[in-house]
Amino acid sequence: MTNRIITPTDVYEPQGHYSHAVEIRPGARLVYVSGQIGTRRDGSMPNNVGEQTELALINLVNTLKSASMDISNIVKLNAYLTSRDDVPAYAEARARFQGPHKPASTLAIVAALALPEYLVEIEAVAAKSE
C-alpha cells in the first residue's frame, strides 16, 4: 500500500514540483532525515546552488537507502535557500532529480545557514508501508 497524494479540486494548482498533502497509510515506517547540504564525502563543496542542490539530494537519497527507502518514499520535503535568485537553479535540479514524484513541500528563503558557504539545505520525512 502506498502513500496517497491529496490534491483538492477547490484549492489552487501547485505552483511547483510538489503536492498539497500526502497521507501516510496506517502501519507505515517513518524516517526523518536531517537537513542535508551540498557537501561531497571528502568535505569539499561546489560554490553554486545547482551543484549544491544535486549533492544535497544525493546525500538525502543515500541516507534513505540506508533505511531501505528511496526518493519515492519522501512525503515531506523542506528546503532552505539563502538567496531568492537561486530558486530557478534549485527548482531545476530538484525536478530533474525527483522525477514525477511530488511530495508535500516547503521552500524558504533564509538569511543564512550554519556556514556562509552553504547555499541550500534540504530535509525530508519519508514513509514506507511494510
Higher pLDDT, 61 or 22: 61
Q: What is the reported pLDDT for 130?
A: 77
| Inside any domain, residue 9 | no
Q: Collect all residues with Cβ–Cβ distance below 8 Å to 43 and sequence separation of at least 6.
A: none
For residue 26, CA distances in Å to 47, 53, 56, 78, 125 come to 42, 32, 30, 23, 16
| Inside any domain, residue 52 | yes
Q: What is the reported pLDDT for 74?
A: 95
| Inside any domain, residue 50 | yes
Q: What is the reported pLDDT for 1?
A: 58
Task: Give me the CATH number covering residue 122.
Answer: 3.30.1330.40
Across all residues in the chain, what is the average pLDDT?
92
**Kind plus residue range of the DSSP H or E element containing 129:** strand 120-129
| Inside any domain, residue 12 | no
For residue 3, CA distances in Å to 31, 75, 98 come to 14, 8, 16
Number of domains comprising the chain: 1
| Inside any domain, residue 23 | no
CB neighbour class for 53 (10 Å; exposed up to 12, middle 13-18, buried from 19): buried
| Inside any domain, residue 112 | yes
Q: What is the pLDDT of residues 14-38, one digit of tens each?
A: 777 777 888 888 889 999 999 999 9
Enclosing domain of residue 50 = 32-129
| Inside any domain, residue 54 | yes
| Inside any domain, residue 125 | yes
- What is the pLDDT confidence band of residue 117, given thresholds at 50, 70 and 90? very high
Closest to 93 (Cα-Cα) out of 47, 45, 123, 52: 52
